[in-house]
Structure formats: structure tokens, C-alpha cells
Structure 1
């Protein structure tokens, strides 16, 4: 069962729902790996599939991240909607595979920026099974700006909305 930190008025299930919803809506995430000495991050387009409890990415077989994942499979993904003050992070275990059927299912016209078509033999599918997630969810830009202004005038810390961490 999910357990949320007490910084949210939402139930753990509502937090989990919102994490999955925002990660799917925002799409591009910063995908962070460990190379044994440093963290490495790069933007990737996420295919979020809550029903399969997985996040998929199409990647090239020659990417440095593939070797990093093989050695250190725990990764972090961060989605940011800075205009809406909404932030999501998930951590989980990643694998890279040459699953041609899944690659074909995940393929979109957007991928033509990197490969000619889904039959390109250099495409791999990177799959992450998330273990936990965290959410920072503010109502909107106007509310956030107003809270910052009030905090600046009063000296109090601004409340930017819900923050909660759950096990996925």
C-alpha cells in the first residue's frame, strides 16, 4: 500500500494518481543515471503506461546511458511544468532491450527526428519500473506568484501546494 508523507492533503492513492497523470501529461523528463562517479542527466520523451506500471523510452543502442544502466540500473526521472509549478520525480529500476514488437507499439511520428522508421535496427526500448515518486503540485502560476509576494512582504515561507512522496 502507498504511504504519503504528511505534506499533502491528498490520500496516498490520490498522490499516486497525480504522479502518473502529470508524468504522462508533461512527457519530456530529465532522465538521470549514475556512471560510477557522477550523475548524468538528459531529456527523454517518456511513454507512461500506468496499467503496466512502466515508463518506456525509445533510445539508440549506442547511447552511453545504456552501459550506465547495465552497471547501475537505478535511475531517476524528473518532469517539470515550470509555468504551472508542477514537478514530479520517480525512481526505479531500468533495463534496455531489443524488443522489436514493443518498439513498434511505442513508435510515433515524433521518433522520425532520430530514426527513419520503427524497423531501424539501432533502436532499443528502455523500460523503467518505478519504485517511488514525489510530487510538488501548485494550483497555478498566479496563485504561486501571489504566495511568493505575500511571503516576501510578511517574511513567512510560501506554501506552494501539495508535496508528497509515495511508494509506487
Structure 2
């Protein structure tokens, strides 16, 4: 299947829409991979991913050294799993902060949007891989049928795309 870049972005956007939390994986100073749970933004994916983080956190320090990151999304009830690789940029942009801000963040930044520790994280996606199955029950049925018949079960759609 050949997809245009626009089609690929739309596909990823449809898969990650509504996923509340993602895992942001960074490379530490020592070269280890470390994942951090991050709250996703209520903005449609357009090839860019935005997070709000803290300037004093380990993941922000790691992105300063190694901007290549990975963001993983999962919605197991729907059988959707997405992995997006990209390049992180630490951004200071008041208008973007205003756009992304919700009172939820006051739990992390007690001073609100004026908190000097706020760091916008912009990730420009380079590519993604996704797996979209038929859901847990259908996948188990397909797996069982495959085992009984000795056939390879249909486990959904798996694609790797460049963005």
C-alpha cells in the first residue's frame, strides 16, 4: 500500500486521537533508553507532537544532549499501538503555551502558566510504525482459529511509514 505523507499523517492522527497518555523515550547521558509517561495534548496530530514538561526534569536534560526521541501510544481496548520517532526541540513560545495549557498542569506547575520551570517540548515526527488489530476478542478468535487450522492468523494491519 502506498500512502502519501498527508495520508500517513491522517492515519497516525486517527489512531492516536483520544489516547490520554503517551510514553516519551529519551536517551540518557550514559546512552540508556528511558521512558517517561507524558500527558498528550488535545491537538490533532499534524506531524508534530507537543508536550509540557519541566526544565529541571531528567527527560528535558536528556533531550538537550540527544534530541532523537520516540513517543509510544497504546489503546489496547481498540487494538491500537503506535510508535513515533522524531526530533525534540525545547521551545519557549507563550502563544503555544496558552494554546496547550489546561488547569490540569497546575498539579505540576503550582504557579500556573507563569511558572518559570515550564518547558514546551516540540517533537517533529520523522516516521512511525503502527499496529491496528481487530480488537482483543477478534484477535484471540483469529489466533485460536489459526492454531486449530495450522494457518497464520490475521493479526491486523502493521505499517511503517515515513513522515
- Coarse TM-score class (shorter-chain normalised): 0.7 to 0.9
1:69 aligns with 63
2:87 aligns with 93
Q: In the alignment, which of 23, 29, 32 is matched to residue 30 of structure 1?
A: 23
CA distance in 1, matches of 2:72, 2:17: 12
CA distance in 1, matches of 2:146, 2:113: 51
Change (3 A) 1:16 1:97: closer
Q: How many residues align?
A: 158
1:4 aligns with none
CA distance in 2, matches of 1:72, 1:12: 30
CA distance in 2, matches of 1:26, 1:162: 19
CA distance in 1, matches of 2:102, 2:130: 28
Alignment partner of 1:26: what SS? coil
1:19 aligns with 12
2:146 aligns with 151
CA distance in 1, matches of 2:37, 2:153: 29
Q: Give the alignment's TM-score, normalised by structure 1.
A: 0.84
2:101 aligns with 107
The farther-off stretch of 65-74 and 94-103 is 94-103
The answer to whether structure 1 residue 131 and structure 2 residue 126 are counterparts is yes
The farther-off stretch of 95-104 and 73-82 is 95-104
Q: Which runs of 4+ in 1 moved over 6 A?
A: none
CA distance in 2, matches of 1:111, 1:44: 11
> Relative contact order: is structure 1 or structure 2 higher (C-alpha 8 Å, sep ≥ 6)?
1
Q: In the alignment, which of 149, 157, 162 is matched to residue 162 of structure 1?
A: 157
